Amino acid sequence: MLKMNSGLEMSEEYESIESGTEGLTWKYANMEENRPKNRYANVVAYDHSRVLLPTIADIPGSDYINANYIDGYQRQKAYIATQGPLPETFYDFWRMIWDQNSRIIVMMTRLEERARVKCDQYWPTRGTETFRYTPEEKTTKYTTPVYTVTLNDTSEYAYYTLRTFILRREAGDAEMNDTNRQNSQAVESREIKQFQFTAWPDYGTPDYPQPLLLFIRRVTQVRSHMLHQLQQERLANGDSYNGRGTTHKPLDAIRPTSPNLLTELGPTVVHCSAGVGRTGAFIVIDSQLERLRYEKSVDIFGSVGRMRAQRNFMVQTEEQYTFLYDVFVEAATVYGTEVTAHGLYNHVVKLRQIAPSNLLSPNKPIGNGIHDGNAKDFAPTVNQSGLEMEFKRLNVNLVLHKQFTSAVLPENRLKNRTPDILPYEANRVFLPIIRGLNGSDYINASFIDGYRKKRAYISAQTPMPNTTDDFWRLIWEHNSPIIVLMHTETVTRSTNTSAPGLPVQSDSYWPMERSTRYQHLLVEPMVEYTMPHFILREFRLTDTRDGQSRTLRQFQLLGWPQDSVVPKSAEAMIDLIGQVHKTQSQFGQDGPITVHCSTGSGRSAVFICLSLLLERMRCEGMVDIFITTRMLRTQRVDMIQTPDQYAFCYAATLEYLASFDHYTS
């Protein structure tokens, strides 16, 4: 509703939020000795909510850092919002982390954007870095604590990076006494997790809410795990999570108001560059998702207003504010679709049951005009299973930027098997332009993000006679080391294209026995292996212009015949996925995996969707087929085309899960 009338109501709501500056002071931020500690002169820390550091030897300003406490859902000081650290504030940043007992850092910016430094790197690239109080850096006597940060692990994902630090504090001489030395209290250490969201664009806001929503879910998951560990430590010591007896309660029973565990965990430290725009967006989403969980409602307007009374400029632009609504519309739509690996079996059992009629209403308000469905787009009927209803809801409230600029050009129309499945302009695969040939940069193929890497896959339609040369150019120019062919048979040139999910077959686009030239590329068949579930072929590709060559591997799935909408067995698909990714890793090949079927949206989507699901389950122990499919559909039209394909993803994930005793036992 707020986006109607060209977004006028949204603009009016945003403009009506109090700035938060009236009656508030920031005299400590403006002290002469503290001004160099502010990255931006106009973004300061309010006096009443600023984080106070321990004073160093009565040095003026030594208790100042550009950081403010921000209240969360039913918890005061749940977050610390701060600027991206400057080199001269690295020491203060780490002693704040230690003094506040914070275990999680959320970084909402890259180090550089648009060739400008947005945040200085306050952690070591590898190994260990030591941080000392600046006046004592060149001395051998330290009256103040010394902090060392060791980079213990780095895990990169498509939309974020997770780093694990070991933060050690060595007491300064002013704190030391003989008792401390004898009790080895001079050095303490803690594990710190840093989540860096890398998918926020240089300009504006993310195109789609799903990556940020999944990122925040991961932060919440790790935070819950830390709380669970603290709970277990309490129980082992004869205490309970609430300090009254030793009764064990599950983690879900720990309400946000449980003070003891949360105090031990410390505030979540959130920063971007200035610590107000993206930082504010994260805190609103994280805190209001917790409210959504307990109250089934959100209050975006009130949340932003309350934050601005604690730190200036929080949620800095109207575009960021509008994006918050997009995130919560998505959160409401996908509410309840994420499950643990342990709970997947029971979840699927429930989905396969016929839904009661009282659950068929899609238009349930979540809060502030946010709904989890749209009756016009989603018309559930009686005698539907929960699984069928879930599939029908895949496009409900799904934000799509439907621009097919190149795909609909006259010179490119005959390169598309069907006018219904075209690549979005934003992520289509570009080919090098051939001078004098209009449309030479176009092929019906889309980049698809993986679990650990952006643009990890290319989803393409099977080549036609008039696009075979372009297909080989795609493989060469984008350094794709592996082709996955999702057709079992490839022998006939004409096949009915009306049934979604069924393959349109053509003559083989690869040479069978002798080398064949496709424009400037020479393709030489080398060897072929027939395995139980797939055929593996190896080719040598040579660029005849300069003689450069490389090896290409093609995997052709067996057991998915033309007249079947899903494979005969999940085992075959799981085996294929495992072998493809093992081969890519084994040979150290970093280019995208090219997957193709008739349209590049049915069978190809099943392969890619399952690849994402299985990798996330191995890494996080979590499964969400619904949001995974929605994310795929923001990248290519109608990914996962039929209810049967969608159900197969559930079945294959369950079968994969059954092979791991630690999940099923």
Note the maximum CA span of the chain.
88
Per-residue pLDDT band at 500 (split at 50, 70, 90)? very low
Quote the pLDDT of residue 5.
57
361 contact partners, CB below 8 Å, separation of at least 6: none
- 597 a catalytic residue: yes
Q: Which residue has the higher pLDDT, 93 or 256?
A: 93
Quote the pLDDT of residue 388.
95
Identity of residue 160: Y
Domains with residue ranges and CATH for the chain: 4-333 (3.90.190.10), 348-392 (no CATH), 410-664 (3.90.190.10)
Q: Which of 3-12, 187-196, 523-532 bottoms out in mean pLDDT, i.e. has the lowest?
A: 3-12
CA atoms of 620 and 269, how far apart (whole Å): 22
Quote the pLDDT of residue 510.
97
Quote the pLDDT of residue 501.
43
Span between the terminal Cα atoms of the chain, in Å: 47
Per-residue pLDDT band at 262 (split at 50, 70, 90)? low
Per-residue pLDDT band at 502 (split at 50, 70, 90)? very low
Region 440-465: mean pLDDT is 98
pTM of the model: 0.89
Quote the pLDDT of residue 240.
54
> For 547-588, what is the HEC assignment?
CCEEEEEEEEECCCCCCCCCCCCHHHHHHHHHHHHHHHHHCC
CA atoms of 264 and 101, how far apart (whole Å): 7
3-state SS class at 662: helix
Region 442-457: mean pLDDT is 98
Region 55-70: mean pLDDT is 94
Quote the pLDDT of residue 223.
95
Quote the pLDDT of residue 230.
84
Quote the pLDDT of residue 495.
41
pLDDT of 562 higher than 90:
no
Q: Report residue 317 as tokens.
A: 């632009």
Contact 73, 300 (CB under 8 A): no
CA atoms of 378 and 361, how far apart (whole Å): 9
Q: Which residue has the higher pLDDT, 368 or 648?
A: 648
Quote the pLDDT of residue 509.
96
CA atoms of 275 and 307, how far apart (whole Å): 12
Q: What percent of the chain has pLDDT over 70?
A: 84
- Mean pLDDT for the chain overall: 88
Region 130-152: mean pLDDT is 80
Quote the pLDDT of residue 467.
97
CA atoms of 639 and 643, how far apart (whole Å): 11
Q: What percent of the chain has pLDDT over 90?
A: 75
CA atoms of 96 and 101, how far apart (whole Å): 8
Q: Read off the pLDDT of residues 365-406 as tens digits, 9 standing for 90 and up.
A: 445 545 444 434 434 455 789 999 999 999 999 988 789 999
Active-site position among 119, 597, 609, 649: 597
Q: Which residue has the higher pLDDT, 233 or 138?
A: 233
- 609 a catalytic residue: no
Give the highest mean pLDDT range of 182-191, 262-271, 630-639. Answer: 630-639
Quote the pLDDT of residue 134.
72
pLDDT of 504 higher than 50:
no
